[in-house]
């Protein structure tokens, strides 16, 4: 099997459309949507586009997807938070239909696929331990080793920190597929990965970012300019972003299956 891994779309429909056009001619057998389809300025449109995919698709739950479901379930009375991400979540939740909520809620904590040349490969969002745990190109061996403890698969694919990398530690290979909609690569574009058959190919897809930003502003999504500042408006140094992530590393939130056990 050869898989196109699309992570961290964050409601960026123009970027998603550009990537899907390349996936269509890439030879991929399936799609792996690695979490954080939401939130973002065109979340509903992105979900509708993914629902129309032609071919097998596997979905991993991201913290953004989970938080948006929680916001939808809480109802309008909970929409009083002042923090920018809470405002964006509230705005997106108000636009979801129940079927969109159910699609997001149906994403899986992890997915394992048997890929050509790589064998059984674990796809998660943050880390194998939880959807908020941070892995970057700078993560130390001790912390990364703890995240990989008990993982049987030799290859782990993650997202959450929005930058492509490919690392090896203690017999494990850890790959970040990059971010389709909100990359921290130091340049504009949509970033994803093609895995299997037999190797790992980090991909970069160009699109009209200025036109996309105009579309986002027109949606009325609150704070979207600031939310995209370091990724698409004025791309920040990716090493600075990785260091920021490392200094604010979040403890893992257990997967739902672990909480219920």
What does pLDDT average to over the chain?
Answer: 93
Q: Say what percent of the chain tops pLDDT 90.
A: 88
DSSP assignment letter at 186: S
CA angle 118, 119, 123 (to 5 degrees): 85
Q: What is the pLDDT of residues 150-178, one digit of tens each?
A: 999 999 999 999 999 999 987 899 999 99
The pLDDT-based confidence of 257 (bands split at 50, 70, 90) is very low
Alpha-carbon separation of residue 193 from 55, 78, 201 (angstroms): 17, 37, 6
Q: What is the pLDDT of residues 28-56, one digit of tens each?
A: 999 999 999 999 999 999 999 999 999 99
Closest by CA position to 41, among listed 181, 185, 233? 181
Q: What is the pLDDT of residues 113-149, one digit of tens each?
A: 999 999 999 999 999 999 999 999 999 999 999 999 9
Q: The pTM is what?
A: 0.93
Q: Which CATH superfamily is domain 3-256 in?
A: Metallo-dependent phosphatases (3.60.21.10)
Instruction: Please list, in sequence order, all residues whose beta carbon lies within 8 angstroms of the beta carbon of residue 164, skipping any fewer than 6 positions away.
Output: 176, 177, 178, 185, 191, 193, 202
Q: Say what percent of the chain tops pLDDT 70.
A: 93
- In the prediction, which pLDDT does 255 show? 59
């Amino acid at each position: 099997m050869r898989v196109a891994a699309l992570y961290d779309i964050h409601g960026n429909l123009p970027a998603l459309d550009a990537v899907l056009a390349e996936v269509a001619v890439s030879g991929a057998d399936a799609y792996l949507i690695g979490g954080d389809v939401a939130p973002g300025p065109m979340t509903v449109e992105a979900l509708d586009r993914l629902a129309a995919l032609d071919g097998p698709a596997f979905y991993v739950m991201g913290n953004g997807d989970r938080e948006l479901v929680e916001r939808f379930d809480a109802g309008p009375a909970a929409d009083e938070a002042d923090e920018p991400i809470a405002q964006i979540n509230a705005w997106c939740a108000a636009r979801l239909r129940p079927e969109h909520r159910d699609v997001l809620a149906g994403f899986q904590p992890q997915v394992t696929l048997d890929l050509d040349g790589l064998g059984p490969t674990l796809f998660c969002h943050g880390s194998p331990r939880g959807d908020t745990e941070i892995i970057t190109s700078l993560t130390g061996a001790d912390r990364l080793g703890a995240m990989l403890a008990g993982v049987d698969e030799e290859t782990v694919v993650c997202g959450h920190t929005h930058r492509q990398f490919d690392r090896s530690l203690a017999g494990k290979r850890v790959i970040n597929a990059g971010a389709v909609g909100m990359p921290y690569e130091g340049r504009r574009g949509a970033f994803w990965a093609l895995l299997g058959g037999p190797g790992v190919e980090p991909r970069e897809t160009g699109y009209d970012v200025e036109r996309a930003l105009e579309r986002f502003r027109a949606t009325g999504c609150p704070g979207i300019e600031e939310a995209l500042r370091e990724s698409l408006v004025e791309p920040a140094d990716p090493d600075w972003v990785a260091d920021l992530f490392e200094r604010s590393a979040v403890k893992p939130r257990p997967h739902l299956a672990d909480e219920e056990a």
